[in-house]
A and B are shown apart, each in its own frame.
Chain A
Amino acid sequence: MSQNPEKLQPPRWAENMLVWLHPSETLEEVEGDLAELYACWCEREGKRRAQFRYVLGVLSVLPPFVKKRAPKNAYPNQTLHLAMLRNYLTIAFRNLTRSKALSAINILGLSTGLACCMLILLFTKDELSYDRFHAEGSRIYRVTSTLTDLKTNQKHKNGFTGTPIGPAFKRELPEIEQIVRYSPGWTLVKKGKEEINEGFVYVDKDFLSVFSFSVKAGNSRTALQGLQSVVLTEELAEKYFGTPHAVGKILPLKLNRETYQNFTVTAVVERPPLNSSLKFTMLLPFAIEENRNTERRDDWLTMHLNTFALLHPAANPAVVSAKMTTVFNRHAGKAMEAQLAQYGLKAKHEFGLQPFMDLHLSPEYGMGNGVVDGSSAIVTYVLSGIAAFILLIASINFVNLTVAQSLRRAKEVGVRKVVGGRRSQLVRQFMGEAFLLCMISFMLGILLANLALPVFNTFVNKKLSLNYLLDGYLVAGYLGLMLVTTLAAGLYPAWVLSGFTPITALYGKQKLTGRHVFAKSLVVVQFSLATLLIIVTLTIHSQFYYLTHKDLGYDNRNLVRIYLPRNGDRQLQVFKDKLSQYPNVLQVAARSEGIYVNTMQAGPRLVADTYLFKVDENFLSAFRIPLVAGRNFSKAFSADSAESVLINETFAREAGWKDPVGQRVAQAGDSLHFYTVVGVVKDHHFLSLQQKIKPLVLHQWPQQSYGELWVKIRPENQPQTLTLLEKTYRKNEAVYPYSYQFMDQVHAEEYQQEARHKQIVSCAAGLAILLSCLGLFGLAALSAEQRTKEIGIRKILGASVSAIILLLGKDFARLVALAFLLAVPLGYKAAGFWLEHFAYRINLGWELFAAAGVTVVVIALGAVGVKAFPSARANPVKSLRSE
């Protein structure tokens, strides 16, 4: 081998090709062999020939010609040995117990996240299960009507229909197999001498065969046919007869105010399940209502009940909808047009079919008239989002803490590698540990979910139970959740840990340089989420405060509402006289019950969406509503009840009146009755603050009745006053039950949903910030531990405690600040979205974001400080003594 080296150099490109393409297992020997052969060939056959043979040789050992040497294992293929497994478990538990605080943070965080997810899965499942238990459910539809204003293109969607509409559809459309009307009411029931007010529902005779409510006794086909039949739930039968076996028994009902009639119980059904949109305790045949209320029977235009249609399996709902509209127009199209024209409207009226199973989660057509528990898919989305946030935050804790802790385990990894542990084994080991932690967290999560369930139930207004868990899909869902969490939380740490090189690990020089970026960005994500939730929480809290504390334009304190008996106007004067005698009663006023909205004719203009209330002359003073112009109703003007009205400022503005007093108004379409405006009241929020102040007309028309008594009482001795009120009521009204409410309570109830949002989001934000801080606390602990020596040296050189706390806190403060910056625009969007639903709302000022920022930074630095302070205080001798 002493020849000129240049001559011995085989063609470089061929050599490169060989290095590049030849299997790595045999590359070294083949390269050597070919080089040696080339030298030989050069000597014997000349350079050209040698080059040719060399290239040929290279080609013959490139894929696909070359045969690969089967890789030979240095050690026998390790499946899991029992001893190894035991070692893994031992090490895992030793690690768990070695750093108890960090393990607790990991496990508690994950189990909280998992518990949240479980509860929310439960909630989602319940929401989706609504009305799914009816055998023919997919063929049942609710008849809806949509009114499209041709001028503004606005759609008014409505889930109600009139009495004659359903039967007409069934008669004329063969696609409709059955029609069931559903209309709730109240009745008095006699039990011995007692009289009890009970709710019931009028339903058509096919109700029990179309819907699959379980009939315990009696014939579901014939139960609702007779005019004297009644169907009870087991609970109600128990209440009145002491036994659920009540078929054939007699129940006296007073459907109108006059007389009791005897009804025979023809069937007993099980109480409708909780996830049913139709909930009832007593069913009566619809025929009773039809016979009694003949006016309604032929009234095509009043939409006041729910009509359900069972379609033929082959029928297409879209086609049937179109046909329904045609049928309606044939019967009542002209009358409808005429009525709309009276209101100055030109509109298209169409019927539609809403799938019964969609009823619960699609609020567009509204609930009401016996259909209950309306919800919206948005709540489900928001809750799921929050659950995902919390699980994500907990998983991030897991990843960060495990990776940071891994430095302590660098030696273990090094030793395992030196004695022949392969990377895949290490990955398996660490994934196994993650799985173990997840298992523990999962068990704990189930326990937590169980504990939190009652609280959660009050939040979401449901009666969920963990029995719901015993469902194939849900169990699969939970297991999936656990696996995903294990993978998400375990994969990255396992990958990082198993990648340590044994030499650096064993010399104790392993550092996590470079990996910090990932851990830090995870912290940023965590705190962004937490800040986002805090911003939304603060928004909801301040909006809620605004809603409940805004000046409404009237005084709602110490105002008690008492429902008057039906048609109870004749008792009104008695009540008024009696109550006003008490010294603690300041004022007694009366108002009509419920809400009546109509379009008003005001001179040449029409004022749409006007709210009409019947009030007495005490109303304004009891509510402390000031008059802007004109006068109040007065007993002195005997014609007031027939001729006068009061309006509010909004009405005057919309009517275009500069001087409203003396102007004349009428209900649209009723040009015979004109009323004179005698006074204008100041605008006040008689509706919830979600809506703008609407035009208002206060009147005293004799054809309408008062329904509510409003009593302004002194703030002192309220319990006694309330007892007096009740006594007086009972003395003068024997039948109708007494019920009262304070106006500020009524007012607060209007914001129940907001109150619920407030609770849910506050809890979520609290959890999120807590978990994030736990994670930060863990990271700070590790960082302080790693820098023990540095801190010691700094202290010896004269650093103060505060300087060292600052040193440790600085890194984290920067991350939290970045997270805050990221969260602000998102929070602004989310909060703005939520506020959109309110006509009157707070401004999203910088103060709110500043408050959120300060909250987050203070809490985060608090968490870091708790850990940093002891390390900064520690005696440097201790940290520096040992090497």
Chain B
Amino acid sequence: MRKTYLGEFEEVVLLLVAIQDGEAYGVTVSQELEAQTGRQVTFGAVHNTLIRLEEKGFVKSQLGGTTQERGGRRKRLFTITAAGSRALLEVQQLRSQLWGLVPPHALKLSGL
């Protein structure tokens, strides 16, 4: 099977979906993204990424019930799938593995 690549922005969005645990949809993801990372992205970027993540099988979605909010329009709620979790874990493992290999003197945060 083809190994699916997870981009940096996708990774962030996927993490946000995981964080929100069933409450993730376009608005919450956008707001959290802004709140947590300070990045202002267009709504389209988030929308497209969510669709792409779903195509890759990392999240699944379903339409929420009708509410009186937002003019009765339904939300599409996203939840992370097992494949999504695995992908996140793999990324994290790879990162820590790589962190372990970095010689301590190579990272001088203070610039001394």
Contact = CB atoms under 8 A, between A and B. Distances in A.
Interface of A: 1, 26, 28-37, 40, 56-57, 59-61, 65-70
Contacts of A33: 25-27, 30, 43, 47, 70, 75
29 contacts: A26-B76, A28-B74, A29-B25, A29-B26, A29-B63, A29-B75, A29-B76, A30-B26, A31-B73, A32-B70, A32-B74, A32-B75, A34-B43, A35-B70, A36-B27, A36-B69, A37-B26, A37-B31, A37-B43, A40-B31, A57-B44, A59-B44, A60-B43, A61-B44, A65-B44, A65-B48, A66-B44, A66-B47, A67-B52
B107 interface: no
B30 A56 contact: no
B42 A40 contact: no
Best-buried of B44, B45, B52, B75 by chain A (most CB within 10 Å): B44
Interface string B17-49: 000000001110011000000000011110110
Contacts of B70: 32-33, 35-36
Interface in B51-83: 51-52, 54-55, 63, 69-71, 73-76
B52 A61 contact: no
A70 B55 contact: yes
A37 B27 contact: yes
A30 B26 CA distance: 8
Given A36-B69, A59-B44, A61-B44, A67 B26 contact: no
Contact of A61 (B43, B71, B75): B43
A35 B25 contact: no
Given A57-B44, A67-B52, A69-B51, 4 more contacts: A28-B73, A29-B63, A57-B42, A60-B47
A780 B71 CA distance: 53
Nearest to B51: A67
A64 to B, nearest CB: 11
Contact of B47 (A36, A40, A61): A61
Contacts of A56: 42-43
A31 B30 CA distance: 14
A33 B30 CA distance: 10
B32 to A, nearest CB: 12
A37 B42 contact: no
Nearest to A68: B51
Given A29-B63, A34-B43, A37-B27, A67 B69 contact: no
Best-buried of B31, B43, B51, B55 by chain A (most CB within 10 Å): B43
A394 B45 CA distance: 60
A67 B48 contact: yes
Interface of B: 25-27, 30-31, 42-45, 47-48, 51-52, 54-55, 63, 69-71, 73-76
A28 B66 CA distance: 11
Contacts of A34: 43
A57 B27 CA distance: 12
Contacts of B52: 67
Contacts of B63: 29
A88 to B, nearest CB: 35
Nearest to B52: A67
Contact of B45 (A30, A37, A40, A60): A60
Best-buried of A56, A57, A59, A70 by chain B (most CB within 10 Å): A57
Contacts of A68: 51
Given A61-B47, A66-B48, A29 B30 contact: no
Contacts of A59: 42, 44
A26 B63 CA distance: 10
A69 B70 CA distance: 22
Nearest to B31: A40
Nearest to B68: A1
B48 A57 contact: no
Nearest to B48: A67
Which 3 A-B pairs rank lowest in CB-CB distance, beginning with the nearest? Answer: A60-B44, A32-B73, A33-B26
Contacts of B27: 33, 36-37, 40
A66 B42 CA distance: 11
Contacts of A29: 25-26, 63, 73-76
A28 B54 CA distance: 18
B48 A35 contact: no
A67 B47 contact: yes
Nearest to B49: A67
Nearest to A40: B31
A57 B42 CA distance: 5
Contacts of B75: 29, 32-33
Contacts of B48: 65-67
Contacts of B44: 57, 59-61, 65-66
Contacts of A28: 73-74
Nearest to A65: B44
Contacts of B45: 60
A35 B74 CA distance: 12
A9 to B, nearest CB: 11
Contacts of B25: 29, 33
Contacts of B30: 33, 37
Best-buried of A26, A31, A61 by chain B (most CB within 10 Å): A61
Nearest to B45: A60
Contacts of B55: 70
A336 to B, nearest CB: 91
Contacts of A69: 51, 54
B13 to A, nearest CB: 13
A437 to B, nearest CB: 44
A491 B9 CA distance: 51
Contacts of A65: 44, 48
Contact of A35 (B31, B51, B71): B71
A68 B55 CA distance: 11
B40 to A, nearest CB: 8
Contacts of B69: 1, 36
A263 B87 CA distance: 105
Nearest to B76: A29
Nearest to A36: B27
Contacts of A61: 43-44, 47
Contacts of B47: 26, 30, 33, 60-61, 66-67
Contacts of B76: 26, 29
Best-buried of A29, A67, A68 by chain B (most CB within 10 Å): A29
A733 to B, nearest CB: 104
A40 to B, nearest CB: 7
B41 to A, nearest CB: 9
A761 B52 CA distance: 70
B71 A32 contact: yes
Nearest to B54: A69
Contacts of B73: 28-29, 31-32, 35
Nearest to A29: B76
Nearest to B43: A57
Nearest to B55: A70
A67 to B, nearest CB: 4
